[in-house]
Structure 1
Amino acid sequence: MMRRKIRMGMVGGGPGSMIGPIHRLAARLDGEVELVCGAFSRDLERSRETAESLHLPAERVYPDYRAMMQGEAALPDGERMDFVAVVTPNDSHFPIAKAALEHGFHVLSDKPATKSLDEVEQLAASLQQSGLLYGLTHTYAGYPMIKQARSMIAAGALGRVRKVLVEYPQGWLAEAGIEAHSRQAAWRLDPNQAGVSSCVGDIGSHAAQLSEYVAGTAISEICADLNAVVDGRQMDDDATVLLRFENGARGVLIASQICAGEENNLKLRIYGEKGGLEWQQHEPNTLWLKWIDRPTEMLRAGGPGLTELALANCRTPGGHPEGYLEAFANHYRNFAGQIRARLEGRAATAIESDVPDIVDALRGMRFIEATVSAASTDQKWHRLPALMALENQL
C-alpha cells in the first residue's frame, strides 16, 4: 500500500484565533499531516473565508462540529479525516472530543482537555470504550532538551529527585481592562468559557505537566495561593503553589499573568541526590547540568551526548535554533505516527508514543480544580483526589 498523509480536520482556529494558525503550521512542518476539512468558526461565512485561505474545497467546510463529524463519517475510508484537532476555547473541548470519538475519529486537543474534572473523566471513559487515540498539545514537552532532561532523570543520572522548581511568568494581562479589546484575554477571563481558573488553567497547567513529565513523578499534595491581582477580575491572574510529589520530592510552582514586561519566561529546575538541571524556554536549545562533584555542563540541541529520545525530536544540526513551532510539530508528527502505526497494523514506537495523553488530561484537570479549591480555604496542605482507576489502565 502506498504511504499517504494522515488526514486532519480542525474545529476552531478561524479569524482572530491565536492558537489555530500555530496548530496548522505545526501540523504541516513534517509533511506527514494534511488538513482536509474544518469547522473553523461558529459563523459559517467566516469559516468559509478561513477555508478559502487554506485552499480547502467548499464541500469540506462545515457549519459546526456536529455536522463535521457526521459529514466526515459518511465519506469513504479513503477520503474522510483520520483525526480532529480541537483548538477552541476550553468550554467546548469536551463536547467536540466526545463527538469525534463517537464517530470513530482520533483526537488531538489543545489544553486543558475539558472545562472540569468530571468532563475529563467522562472523556477518558469514552476513549477507553472507543479504543481510539487521544493527544494533548502541552507544547513545552515537545522541546528536544526537555526530552533530554526527562531521559536523564529516568535513567537515574541525578539520583532520586528531591526538589522541583517551575515558574511561568507572563505580563500580557497586567493591564486592567485588556479584555475589552483582546478576544484572547476576554475568553480566558470569562469563567463560562475558561472554567474555574484563568491563570492556572492557562499556564499553570503547562508548568504542572512539564514538572511531572520531566521529573517522572506525579504531584500528590498542594498548598495554593491564587489571586485576582487586577481590580474587577472574577478569575485568578496570579498563582503560587507549593508541591509535594509521589516520590517524596518537594517543589514550588509559580504562574502569573500580571508580571509586567515578561513574555513567556517558562523555567524549570530539578535537583536530585547527585546534581541538578536547568532549562528555560527563552533559550530552549540549552540544558544546564549542575553536579556535586564536577564542573557544570552545558548540553545543546543537536550536539553530542544526547539521548535517543532527544535526538529523535531534533530537526537541525547543532547551532541552529529550534523553537516553539518545532516543539509543537513534534507532537503532531509523533501523534500522526501513532495513527500510521494503526493503519500499518503495528505497535507504535516509543518515540511515536511520546505525546501527552489522557493521563496528562486527567492529572491536569485534577491539578486545576484542586488548586482553586485549596486556595479558597485556610487549610495548609490538600491531597489531590484519587483519579478514576482508568489512569492506571491507559
Structure 2
Amino acid sequence: MAKRKLRMGMIGGGSGAFIGAVHRIAAQIDGQVELVCGAFSADQQRSKDSGEQLFLPSERCYGSYEEMIITEQELPADQRMEFVVIVTPNHLHYPAAKLALEAGFHVLSDKPATLSLAQALSLKTIIEQSNCLYGLTHTYTGYPLIKHAQELVADNTLGTVQKIVVEYHQGWLADQEAESGKQASWRLDPSQSGISCCMGDIGVHAANLAEYVSGLTISKMCADLVPVVPGRQLDDDGTVLLRFNNGAKGALLASQIAVGEENGLRLRIYGDKASIDWSQQEPNTLWLKFNDQASQMIRTGVGQFSSRVQSAIRTPAGHPEGYLEAFANIYVNFVEQVRLFQQGELDAASQVDVPDIEDAIRGMAFIENAVAASNSDQKWHNFTI
C-alpha cells in the first residue's frame, strides 16, 4: 500500500497563539501530515476565521472542539481526521483528549498532559479502553544530541551516574506588565494553568529531560517554589533538590523571572567516569568531559552515530538544527507509530521514540509533588504517584 499523508485536526493554536504555528510547521517539515480541520479558539468566530486564514474549507473550520470531534467522526473514513493535536491552555487538555479518544481518534497533546495527576491517571484508563495512541510533545527529547547523550549514559561511558543538574531559565515574566499578554495571562491563572506556573510550564520539561537522558527516575524531592513578582497566585521561580532511584543526587532550577535569559535549558549529568553537558541554546554541541583526558566536543552530524540518532539529524554538519526540527522529530515518530498501528504492526518491539501517557503521568506527579514539598516544612518528600 502506497504511503500517504496522515490527516490531522488541531484544537487550539489559532490567531495570536505562539505554539499553534510551531506545531503546524513541525508537522509539515517531513511532508507526512496534512492539516484538514480545526477548532482553533474558544471564541467561535475567531476559531473559524483562524481556520480560513490557514486555507481550510469553511466546513472544516469548527466553532468548538466538541463540534469538530462529533462531526469528523461522522465523515467517511477516507476523509475524517486520523489524529488530533491539542495545543490549548492546560485546563482543556484532558476534556479534549478524553472526547477525541472516546471517538476513536489518536491524540498528540502539549504538556502538561492534564490539569491534575488524577486526570492523567484517568486519561491512562481512557487510552487503554479506547485502543488509540497517545503522545506528548516533550519537544527537547527530539534533539539528536539528546538521544546520543541518552545512549552515552546507557552504554556506561559515564559510569555510574552520581549527580544531575538541570536548569531552565527564562526572563519573560520578570516584568509585571507581561501579565496582560495572552501567553502570560492563562499561565498565571490557576483555573487554566493548574497549581503551578513555572514548574508546570518549564520545570516539567527539565524533569522529563533529566529522566529521559539518565534513564533514572526521581525518587525524592525538596522544593522551594515562589511567586517573586508581587500579586501573583502561582510560582514564577523554583528550586528543587532531587534524589534518584540509584542514589544519585540532583538539582532542578527553573525560573521565568531570570532577567536576560531567553530559553536557558541546560542539562549536566556527572558519572564516576565522565560527564556530559548540553544546552538547548547551543543544541548542536554536546560536551563529554573527563578528569584524566581532554574534553570532547561532539557535534551534530560529525562522526559516527547510531541509526536512531542519525535518523533524527536532518542537515549536513554545520547547518544548524534547532527547536523546529526537534519538534518535527516528535511528529515524525508519532506518525510512524500511527502507521504501524493502522497496519497492525505496532507492538513492544517497535520501539517508536514518542513520549507517552507514562511520561504524562510522571510529569503531573512531578508538578504536584513539587508544589506539595514546597508547601511543607518537611525537608524530603517521596516522589509519589
TM-score, length-scaled by structure 2 = 0.98
- Bigger mean CA offset, 49-58 vs 161-170: 49-58
1:305 positional shift: 2.8
Separation of aligned partners in 1, 2:353 and 2:300: 18
Q: Which residue of 1 aligns with 2:107?
A: 107
Contact 2:9–2:35, Cα closer than 8 Å, also in 1: yes
Task: State the Cα deviation string for residues 3-54 of structure 1 (Å, max 9, x = none).
Answer: 1111110000111101011000000000011111100012222112211121
Separation of aligned partners in 1, 2:259 and 2:247: 34
> Secondary structure in 1 aligned to 2:7?
strand
Separation of aligned partners in 2, 1:139 and 1:351: 21
Alignment of 1:253-264 (within 5 A): 253-264=252-263
Task: State the Cα deviation string for residues 171-209 of structure 1 (Å, max 9, x = none).
Answer: 0000123212x1110000000100000000000000000
TM-score, length-scaled by structure 1 = 0.96
Separation of aligned partners in 1, 2:350 and 2:340: 12
2:121 matched to 1:152? no
Task: State the Cα deviation string for residues 241-276 of structure 1 (Å, max 9, x = none).
Answer: 000111211100000000011100110000112100
Q: Which residue of 2 aligns with 1:86?
A: 86
Q: Which residue of 2 aligns with 1:390?
A: none
Separation of aligned partners in 1, 2:62 and 2:298: 47
Separation of aligned partners in 1, 2:346 and 2:357: 18
Contact 1:238–1:258, Cα closer than 8 Å, also in 2: yes
Give, as a single letter, the amino acid of the residue that structure 2 aligns with 1:298: M
1:349 positional shift: 9.0
Alignment of 1:35-46 (within 5 A): 35-46=35-46
Separation of aligned partners in 2, 1:378 and 1:347: 47
> Secondary structure in 2 aligned to 1:177?
helix
1:292 positional shift: 3.1
Q: Which residue of 1 aligns with 2:269?
A: 270
Separation of aligned partners in 1, 2:199 and 2:244: 18
Alignment of 1:25-104 (within 5 A): 25-104=25-104
1:347 positional shift: 2.9
Q: Which residue of 1 aligns with 2:307?
A: 308
- Bigger mean CA offset, 194-203 vs 49-58: 49-58
2:136 matched to 1:127? no
Q: Which residue of 1 aligns with 2:372?
A: 373
2:266 matched to 1:229? no
Contact 1:161–1:271, Cα closer than 8 Å, also in 2: yes
Separation of aligned partners in 1, 2:334 and 2:285: 25
Contact 2:276–2:289, Cα closer than 8 Å, also in 1: yes
Separation of aligned partners in 1, 2:34 and 2:100: 18
Give, as a single letter, the amino acid of the residue that structure 2 aligns with 1:158: L
Give, as a single letter, the amino acid of the residue that structure 1 aligns with 2:279: Q
Contact 2:52–2:61, Cα closer than 8 Å, also in 1: no
Q: Which residue of 1 aligns with 2:335?
A: 336
1:352 positional shift: 6.5
Separation of aligned partners in 1, 2:167 and 2:251: 8
Query: CA 1:329/1:165 → structure 2, altered by over 3 Å: closer, same or farther?
Result: same
Query: CA 1:351/1:320 → structure 2, altered by over 3 Å: closer, same or farther?
Result: farther
RMSD, aligned α-carbons: 1.2
Separation of aligned partners in 1, 2:246 and 2:304: 28
Separation of aligned partners in 1, 2:311 and 2:217: 25
Contact 1:338–1:352, Cα closer than 8 Å, also in 2: no
> Secondary structure in 1 aligned to 2:264?
coil
Give, as a single letter, the amino acid of the residue that structure 1 aligns with 2:225: L
Give, as a single letter, the amino acid of the residue that structure 2 aligns with 1:168: Y
- Aligned length, in residue pairs: 385
Q: Structure 1: state its 5+ residue gaps.
A: 388-394
Separation of aligned partners in 2, 1:369 and 1:213: 19
2:314 matched to 1:291? no
- Bigger mean CA offset, 319-328 vs 290-299: 290-299
Separation of aligned partners in 1, 2:125 and 2:247: 30
Separation of aligned partners in 2, 1:350 and 1:233: 47
2:142 matched to 1:142? yes
